[in-house]
Structure 1
Amino acid sequence: MAETIVNPVTIDELESLARQKLPKNVYDYYASGADDQKCLIRNRAAFDRILIRPRVMVDVSKVDTSTRLFSVEYPFPIAFAPSAMQKLAHPQGEESVARAAQRLGVNMTISSQSTTSLEDIASLMPNTPDGPERWFQLYVTENSALSTPLIKRAANAGYTALVITVDTPLLGNRINERKTPLVLPSNLHLANYKGSEKTKADNYRPSQERQLLDAPTAAQAKQVVRDAGGSIHSSSLTWTETISWLRSATSMKIILKGVMTEEDAELAVKHGVDAIVVSNHGGRQLDSAPATIEALPSIAAATKGQIPILFDGGVRHGSDVFKAIALGADLVLVGRPVLWGLAYDGQIGVELVANILERELSRTMALAGIPNIRGIDKKFLGLRRRDGFGIARL
């Protein structure tokens, strides 16, 4: 008989409770990865090889977890990642996450595939001089002009950055979704498309991506794209043309989500993007990709501090946040944990996720002998040797 969890105190306990509450197909949609889910597993397992080298005899009576990004101060280096269709997890969905972000003073990125409109979210997170920023995530469509109305709406609603997902020229081979397609119930819709400008982009549904993935021949795949009228995810993004087009379309900051190599990090700097997110889409795209924490050090070395580095993938503990910061991340995004908290208890559950991670981070800093977030760097880390004896310095 499974143990009854009354007062969850870890992210894993919250996930267990969320799994009990969510319909199986919804939980599986949120939790699963691509192919054999090896990348999904690596994202978490890779953290375990990294050890923290604690220092002693340091005054840690006051631990400061605050950080600054784009001249905005946050109480801790954790933000809410974009996640699609959050009303599947809770009736208030993105609204609860936005209220939690506003109350906690943390950054939130809303998904373009949200079940709450970007304008409604903006009304819950008004721009203030000392308040958290809110960003808008976008999948650029094959016909990029169809993305322009959404970009303009985000700018008009006061979003300060456009987070472009660049690792999705098509969906990864998500076997669970192909076998059990997730269909929005009749009372929910993709709020940023329904009722907006009358373009073919309004008709976009994730099912079109699945049709493309399942097309048995190249000719049939091309027909899916033609039928979608250019509203499907673009498979033709380029550094020169896409970044230039985005700069002409908006004055918002441009952040690229899905960078996993030092070569692309260098190109991001070269082409003047404002920040990158080291992300493998939560293991939902290329199953043979490395864990994000494995890719982070070389990417940080390549950017040489010229642009901020954001990070996501496998974060379940405050010590994971510590390790990511030590290896070069400026801000850590959490995705699935927010969904588990949301399913558990709406806004209260989301706030609990942030509070758990913040307390674990603060405790980790104190036990490692680091009183200030700016003091965290890789000299406090070691890598567990594969033979199990000793640690290698990073």
Structure 2
Amino acid sequence: MDEKKDQRKSGLQVPIDPITLSEVASVAKSLIKKEVWDYYDCGADSQTAPHENEAAFKVLKILPRVLRDVSSVRTKTTLFGREYPVPFGLAPSAMQKLAGGEGEMDVARAAAKLGVNLTLSSQSTTSLEDVMSCKESSSGGGDPAFWMQLYLTKDPEKSVPLIKRAEAAGYEALVLTVDTPSPQTDRKPTFNRRLMDARILHDAETILSEAGGSTHSNSLTWDTTIPLMRKVAPGMKIILKGIMTHEDAVLAVNHGADAIVVSNHGGRQLDEASSTMEALPIIHAALATKSPEPGRRNKIPVIFDGGVRTGADVFKALALGADFVLEGVETVINILERELSRTMALAGVTKIISKEYIGVKNVGGFGVSKL
């Protein structure tokens, strides 16, 4: 995605050339409408969870090792048999045309150019076929997999046509969001706003009843959900997004999920949930494997989402058990790749990152202890 060209077309001027994610956020906030920025940036209730996602990284400190040959740092990784240049991909984000340009088309072009994985939101403002066409027409950096994020509706049959379309278009995995039993719609932000503004239960129930069977299901179960998706799309990987406990991680393995995403929905659902970084180590401990397969760390891939703002954050997530990390678009990917490579070199790591490189600040005292 040629971001500067896109900004010239829209008549907007970028105040700075961002070199960190905080600067990217500052630029974005200055360029898009306040109500759109609030929609993307807000969390639930008092917005405790989004802040906790970021704060959890600050408690962790990197313990660098020295006198190691770091002349060749390798950021490549393999996921589902496909090699990627970096261990992170593009997370699903709703209604991207609200942010400007061609929305999901711009993001898909960036993914294809950089050779990174992309997950398309089911709340996309672009057809899934048009998004896939960006990958097919690209002569960029490799052959990244595109995945389709999905909410199952109260009437599961309403979701079947979308799943079939995604499979036919070439999407290789369904990323089922499982942390939204309090449903929101895939239509427009105003519905979310109405639901959040409801003062009493009756008002909320009225809003939900107006949407009928198209709202998110609150009756998904382990015994029925994955078998249903296998039946509808037998050739696609099934990834569960929104796993926050080791018990559910084990259940995901036992019920045949292909991967999980440790995610609290960016803090937009349960405001008092733990941060994703706090949840990650125990999930990794429950799924850790001694498999001889190169690079395999967990029984199924553990993908991480939430609070990542620097390449050092990516380093920490990988060190504590993540196999892959989800993040933003081209400028963000380039920044994270540069910062991750630099962090690895300074920490004395060339390839495999483990928790031996991470310490935690002592609570109520001074110093850092190994995990």
List runs of 5+ in structure 1 lacking aligned partners: 173-200, 339-349
Residue 391 of structure 1 aligns with an amino acid whose one-letter code is: V
Matched, 1:333 2:343: no
Distance 1:109 1:121 in 2: 11
8 Å contact from structure 2 (residues 153, 216) kept in 1: yes
Instruction: Trace 1:224-239 onto structure 2 (pairs within 5 A).
Output: 224-239=207-222
* Equivalent-residue separation in structure 1 for 2:254 and 2:202 (angstroms): 37
CA contact (8 A) 1:5 1:13 kept: no
The question of 1:289 aligning with 2:283 is answered no
The number of residue pairs the alignment matches comes to 346
Separation of aligned partners in 2, 1:322 and 1:377: 9
Tell whether 2:11 aligns with 1:27. no
Report the TM-score when normalising by structure 1.
Answer: 0.84
Which residue does 1:381 correspond to in 2?
Answer: 358
Structure-2-length-normalised TM-score:
0.89
Q: Does 1:363 align with 2:356?
A: no
Measure the CA separation in 1 of the matches of 2:210 and 2:251.
Answer: 34
When residues 33 and 220 of structure 1 are mapped into structure 2, their CA distance, relative to the original with a 3 A threshold, is: closer
1:118 counterpart letter in structure 2: L
**CA–CA distance in 2 between the matches of 1:246 and 1:167?**
17
Q: In structure 2, what is the equivalent of residue 54 of structure 1? A: 64
User: Alpha carbons of 1:127 and 1:53: their partners in 2 closer, same or farther (altered >3 Å)?
Assistant: farther
> Which of 1 and 2 has higher RCO (CA within 8 Å, sep 6+)?
1
Contact 2:244 2:263 (8 Å CA) reproduced: yes
- Alpha-carbon deviation of 1:393? 1.1
Contact 1:171 1:210 in 2 (8 A): no
Alpha-carbon deviation of 1:209?
Answer: 5.0
Amino acid at match of 2:122: S
Which SS does the other structure have where 2:241 is aligned?
Answer: strand
The yes-or-no answer on 1:136 pairing with 2:148 is: yes
How many angstroms apart in 2 are the aligned matches of 1:149 and 1:391? 52
**Distance in 1 between residues matched to 2:339 and 2:180, nearest whole Å:** 33
Q: For the Cα contact (< 8 Å) 1:151–1:249, is it kept in 2?
A: yes
Structure 1 distance, partners of 2:167, 2:217, is 21
Cα offset, 1:127, TM superposition: 9.6
Alignment of 1:4-23 (within 5 A): 6-23=16-33
Report the secondary structure of 2:213's partner residue.
Answer: coil
- 1:309 is matched with which residue: 289, 302, 305? 302
CA distance in 1, matches of 2:187, 2:115: 33
1:302-334, CA deviations, whole angstroms, 9 ceiling, x for partnerless residues?
Answer: 122210000010101000000000011111001
Kindly state the Cα deviation for residue 50 of structure 1 after the two structures are TM-superposed.
Answer: 0.4
- The partner residue of 1:320 within 299, 313, 316 is 313
Aligned partner of 2:368: which letter? I
1:242 positional shift = 1.2
Alignment partner of 1:164 is 2:143: no
Residue 61 of structure 2 aligns to a residue whose secondary structure is strand
Q: Deviations over 1:119-140 (max 9, x none)?
A: 0001111299951000000111
Candidates 221, 224, 232, aligned match of 1:241: 224
For the residues of structure 2 that align with 1:367 and 1:67, how far apart are their CA atoms?
Answer: 20
Do the aligned partners of 1:170 and 1:209 also contact (CA within 8 Å) in 2? no
Q: Among the aligned pairs, what percent are the same residue?
A: 56
Opposite residue 114 of structure 2, the aligned amino acid is L
